[in-house]
Structure 1
């Protein structure tokens, strides 16, 4: 187990290196001059050239890349060319709202998806099963931005129940924090509910008529206990894999949702930095998101051994 964990941690290095190369090339191939954007349209060519030299933007791209890579190795993601703040400090400053949004979204996702899947399996021989299949496919197909706009118009404008912009830290009050984040968190969660609920339902249906479940019923165990203690537990392993990918999807979805709801998180920081051609911040944020994705996949693999003791890594 320890050997496998070390091996997986070491495998992160080449993955992140490839990601850094791709991110750097995409960002630097994007048209636009950060120095010109910082100084404004009235700036002279001499002033723009001087700022480019100061920021190192006059160097060839490969020199800029290796300079940036050498900073990353030491834990320095660079400095914003727009605000002159360290990229790491900007990420830490903006990660709080994103973390809150993701945690609330995952909580809503689990609270909706797991009971729904269990109920559908219990009612698998009724008309509820095909209805669930249709609704889940519809939910997966809904674009996040479209659903967000509909909910804003419905519950923020027509029926002003929730605020449609802004963020209140949880330290200033749980009620206000929940009131501002519930609507965007619901948008993030509801798009992924269909995937998790469908996967859990399919995995449970594969186990519901296995020999061990038939034996449990023959022993007089109630159907409810069979579903929860035998079927549901075995169905968690494949569902956990999908949930790990869903977490990454939620993190990517925050880019859109934070922009629509004006939440000052990582997603909003990324969008603003793209508009400003703030290369170090864009590169740092994307690397940070990629690192979380890799870490989540590692944690999911390690979680398998807790869900099923028969699984061991050599």
Structure 2
């Protein structure tokens, strides 16, 4: 297990390197001059050129990239062009709202998706099964921004139950914290519930008529216990893969949701930085998201060995 873990950690390095190259090229080849945006439309070409020299934007792109890459290896993602703060510090200040939103969203998803999938497998030969398939397809097809605006209009304006903007830290009170995050979390969870429930249902159906389940029924074990003890446990590995991808994908989903609900997280930071052409922050945020994505995939692979003792990586 240790050797496999070390190999996977080393394999993350080329992945992050490729991501860094792509991100740098996209950011620096996009039209727009940060120096011009900082100084304004009335700025003179001489002032813009002088600011470009101060920011290092007059250097060749190759030199700019390797300077940035060199700093990454010592844990320095650079400084924001606008605030002159450390990019690492800026990201650390925005992690809390984003991770809070992700945690609540994935908990809501699992609390809803797992019981639904088990119930549908239990009632697999009834009209509920095709109804579930239609509902799961509809749920995964709904655009997040449209559902978010619909819920804001319904439960933030027409029936003002939830706040539609802002964020309250957990340190200021659990109820206030979850009250502000529940509505955007429902939006993120609604899109993922159908996918995870469908995957779990399909995986359970593959095991429901296997020989070991027939043997358990032949011994007089009740159907409910067969589903929970034998079928559900064997369906965890493929479902865990989908859950891992979902958790990683939530980082991308929060970009839209945080903007709509004005949550000061990583997603809104990325959007604001793109508008300002704040190159170091854009590069740092995307690289951080890529790192979290590959890290979650690694943790999911390692989790397989705990879910199924037959799996041995060494």
TM-score (norm 2): 0.99
Deviations 1:121-165 (A, max 9, x none): 111011000000000000000010010011011111111111110
Q: Within 2, Cα distance between the matches of 1:269 and 1:72?
A: 20
For 1:103-122, list aligned pairs within 5 A. Answer: 103-122=103-122
Matched, 1:68 2:68: yes
Name the structure 2 match of 1:218.
Answer: 218
1:255: Cα distance to partner? 0.3
Are residues 1:57 and 2:61 paired?
no
Give the unaligned 5+ runs of structure 1. Answer: none
Equivalents in 2 of 1:25, 1:166: separation in Å?
A: 34
1:124 equivalent in structure 2? 124
Distance 1:109 1:256 in 2: 18
* 1:155-183 CA distance string (max 9 Å, x none): 11111111110000011011111110000
1:48-197 map, 5 Å: 48-197=48-197
Tell me how far apart the structure 2 counterparts of residues 115 and 250 of structure 1 sit (CA, whole Å): 22
Indicate the larger mover: 302-311 or 32-41: 32-41
Over 2 Å off, 4+ runs = none
- Match of 2:78, SS state, is coil
2:36 counterpart residue number: 36
Tell me if 1:206 matches 2:185.
no
Shift of residue 39 of structure 1? 1.4
Cα distance in 1 for residues equivalent to 2:205 and 2:142: 26
Deviations 1:98-122 (A, max 9, x none): 0100000010010010011001011
Counterpart position of 2:8 = 8
Q: How many residues in Structure 1 have an aligned counterpart in Structure 2?
A: 314
Partner of 1:287: 287
- Separation in 1, partners of 2:180, 2:239: 30
Q: How does 1:297-312 map to 2 (within 5 A)?
A: 297-312=297-312
TM-score (normalizing by structure 1): 0.99
Query: Secondary structure of 2:240's match?
Result: helix
Give RMSD over aligned pairs.
Answer: 0.6
Q: CA deviation at 1:66?
A: 0.4
1:25 Cα offset (Å)? 0.2
Partner residue, 2:236: 236
**How far did residue 248 of structure 1 move?**
1.5
Distance 2:110 2:239 in 1: 11
Q: CA-to-partner distance for each residue in 1:46-70, whole Å, 9 max, x for gaps? A: 1111110001000111110000000
CA distance in 2, matches of 1:108, 1:143: 18
The offset of 1:295, in angstroms, is 0.2
SS of residue in 2 equivalent to 1:239: helix
SS in 2 for 1:195: helix
C-alpha displacement at 1:45, in angstroms?
Answer: 1.4
Whole-angstrom distance in 2 between the partners of 1:32 and 1:91: 23
Gaps of 5+ in 2: none
Partner of 1:300, secondary structure, is helix
